[in-house]
Chains A and B, each alone.
Chain A
Amino acid sequence: MNMKTRKFIYSKITLLIGLIFSLVVGCDREPSDDSVLATYPKTAEVFIDAFSAGLDYGAFGNTLLTGFNVDTEVKYKGTASMRFDVPNVGDPEGAYVGGVFIDGGGRDLSGYDALTFWAKGSQSATINELGFGNDFNENKYVVTMSNVPLATYWKKYVIPIPDASKLKSEKGMFWYAEGPENGQGYTFWIDEVKYEKLGTIAHGQASILNGIDKSETTFVGVKSKVDGVIATFNLSNGINQSVSISPAYLQFTSSNPSVATVDALGEVTSLSAGTAVITATFNGLPTTGSLTINCVGTFVHAPTPTLNPANVISIFSDAYTNVPVNYYNGYWQPWQTTVSNDFSVLGDNILNYTIFNFVGIEFSSPTINATAMTNVHLDVFIPGPIAPGRQLRVILVDFGANGAFGGGDDTRHSTTFTAPTLVSQSWIPINIPFSAMPGLTSRSHLAQLILEGGDNSVIYVDNIYLNN
């Protein structure tokens, strides 16, 4: 599940209780006599027997909206707990349960070192994700504890705060996402959710790019992202607890800022030809993993298409609106080696196939009716040398009347290009008239474009379209 794709349904399931905290909660934003900076309340409680004052709930899109309730029968302590009913696979009302608990006014969590809670399940299970920092907005300081083992008895859980000094006005108090276990729904309960200063969370270490020393070839203007940030802390029970954290918790450095700069969110911008190594520190300690940027200089863009959009069905181009495409790399197993490392240079998106032997692009939902078109076009760029005998084969596939792969009605035609058409270090315009594709007996259900003939080197592709 990708957080970015989740939609916020602001269902505002009610919740104002807790007069005890209203005093504190009321104090946000207005500077007092002796303070200059705005300060936010330091309220620790998220859910004890009810929501803490000021807290709102929002469910993720496609979740079972009835899956979250306050339960007064099952509880760890006090009078109530939160109950989450995970749907079965195929439940039309929602595929999973998940949501965020937001304090819209923001809280100062800098005095705490952990979010803690108690939880149990109706069965042993593994909760996909639990955490905080998800505010349905910037999500700047998200922390996620993944694959959390759940027992049938109450257990305390501790999510370490990576660097509490960052959380002076945090809104995302708690969030969770859990789907069915082996296709089956079940129920889990969470109680006593609060921020604590445990004093027992120590020896924090972090890694970027999942601890890997990664290398990337870029051009001037290309943006790269440092992600895969994992922080590990030793808890009081001696267990090393790892959490995924936002890059914003780290401090980034570029070894060569004239080649590439990196911002506070881990976004890297290539500026000139050369090499720069991006590293990070976490609470002053070096992290494992690095990103080496090999910027090869200014990118040569493919010629911008000039055809009238009315005469074009675009599959991949920034000049036109593309039709729906299932994928630009099907990762067809077992023989495909091609890996996609697509990039964008100053707004120009490029398909970048590395270790290229062949690759399939599919646009079958829906298929394309190209009967009004006369021609297929694409631009390719081969950065490496063209070996003798090197071929590039462009194959168009029509899925036939059934609109689906197979079924005996598929047709295709393969067109082969060789030197001198194939050149190195220059955009190669490829235009194939349908009239030159006798094998393609129909073009009313076009569904795939396949490139073959790679020698495991790199090929860039841009401006794939059909035109008349």
Chain B
Amino acid sequence: MIKRNSIIKKSVFTLAALLMLLSCSTDEKQTVITMTKLVMQDEFDVNGAPNSTIWGYNIGTGNNGWGNNELEYYTDRPENIKVLDGMLQITAKSELYLGSPYTSARILSKGRFEQKYGRFEARIKMPWGQGLWPAFWLLGADSDTVGWPQCGEIDIMEYRGQQPTKIGGAVHGPGYSGATSISKSYDLINDRFDTDFHIFGIEWGKNYINYYVDDVLYNQITPDKVTGEWVFDKPFYIILNLAVGGDYVGSPNGETSFPQTMYVDYVRVYQ
């Protein structure tokens, strides 16, 4: 009996060692990040409203629910957005507010922090349930003058609450926007995005945007992959938001529980 136990233990150890070897070799094969010089960081360590030297707000519903038929009204109220416990917390609530059935929040670094190229990374825990659509994304700093999609959009992370193991990364530009954006989804194995924090990032340089989740590089978008003009050689700003409903995700249903919160541990930008 004892001998048998020891045999099992040995095989477990062998297996564990094998797995470790495997994961080591995966790491070695893949160069996930190369840019390590920190140029901007918000660790969300000061309780209260988000740091106004970095972040401004989008308020209201935009045009046609921010162009996507989204259902929420974005506010800057603390019940929708606050920094607490070392995290930015964007909370979607089910409440009738100025004609909208939900409230939530969206912050952007427009005019405060804009940068061409670099590594943009955030550590986020998702809300859960049908119809919730959190996102971490970039828009071209010339969005007001040239308009969308000419300004370009880099979606570092988009998530559908009803697909808890999946996120998507995409670029939108002239000739490849909305449904024809260039995108790829990443599926977690044996885990989900709404039970713990995960790291979402891009490394963006001249003629490439690399997408990664945690320590896995899962996509590279280059000019030859887009079906139009490459508009990613200029400064972009950061947006963090939690949308409710809209074309990308569909509406919440009776099983979606509110309130729902998107937790952001940090946003960091490297060069």
Contact = CB atoms under 8 A, between A and B. Distances in A.
Interface of A: 23-24, 26-27, 30, 32-33, 197-200, 202-203, 234, 236-238, 240
B2 A32 contact: yes
Interface in B155-202: 160-165, 188, 190-192, 194-195
Nearest to B11: A23
A307 B187 CA distance: 76
A252 to B, nearest CB: 24
Contact of B192 (A23, A32, A236): A236
B241 interface: no
Contacts of B2: 32-33
A236 B7 contact: no
Given A27-B8, A200-B192, A202-B195, A238 B130 contact: yes
B190 A200 contact: yes
8 contacts: A27-B1, A27-B5, A32-B5, A200-B188, A203-B128, A234-B129, A234-B164, A238-B164
A22 to B, nearest CB: 10
B256 to A, nearest CB: 10
Contacts of B130: 238
B161 to A, nearest CB: 7
Given A23-B8, A24-B8, A234-B128, A202 B164 contact: yes
B165 A236 contact: yes
B28 interface: no
Interface in B59-118: none
> Nearest 9 CB-CB pairs, A to B?
A238-B162, A199-B190, A32-B5, A199-B191, A202-B195, A236-B165, A240-B255, A200-B192, A30-B1
A183 B11 CA distance: 52
Given A236-B164, A238-B130, A202 B194 contact: yes
Name A's interface SS.
Answer: loop
Given A33-B2, A202-B192, A236-B192, A23 B164 contact: no
A26 B4 contact: yes
Nearest to B254: A240
A400 B1 CA distance: 73
Given A26-B4, A27-B4, A200 B128 contact: no
Interface size classification for chain B: 20 to 34
Nearest to A232: B255
B230 to A, nearest CB: 35
Given A234-B164, A238-B163, A238-B164, A199 B192 contact: yes
B8 A200 contact: no
Contacts of A234: 128-129, 164
B251 to A, nearest CB: 14
A234 B257 CA distance: 12
Contacts of B190: 197-200
B164 A200 contact: yes
Contacts of B128: 202-203, 234
A26 B160 CA distance: 46
Given A234-B129, A238-B163, 4 more contacts: A27-B1, A198-B190, A234-B164, A236-B165
Contacts of B1: 26-27, 30, 32
A202 B165 CA distance: 11
Contacts of A197: 190
Contacts of A238: 130, 160-164
Interface in B1-29: 1-2, 4-5, 7-8
Nearest to B160: A238
Interface in B117-171: 128-130, 160-165
A212 B44 CA distance: 41
A268 B22 CA distance: 53
Contacts of A32: 1-2, 5
Nearest to B187: A236
A26 B191 CA distance: 32
Contacts of B129: 234
Contacts of B165: 200, 236
A110 to B, nearest CB: 16
B46 to A, nearest CB: 30
Contacts of B194: 202-203
Nearest to B5: A32
From A26, A197, A240, name the one whose CB has the most chain B CB atoms within 10 angstroms: A240
A110 B190 CA distance: 17
Nearest to A201: B192
A195 B201 CA distance: 34
B191 A200 contact: yes
A23 B162 contact: no
A330 B32 CA distance: 72
A164 to B, nearest CB: 15
A256 to B, nearest CB: 31
A236 to B, nearest CB: 5
Contacts of B192: 199-200, 202, 236
B253 to A, nearest CB: 10
Contacts of B188: 200
B150 to A, nearest CB: 35
- Select the residue from A23, A26, A202 with max chain B CB neighbours within 10 A: A202
A267 B111 CA distance: 64
A23 B255 contact: no
Nearest to B194: A202
Nearest to B165: A236
B223 to A, nearest CB: 35
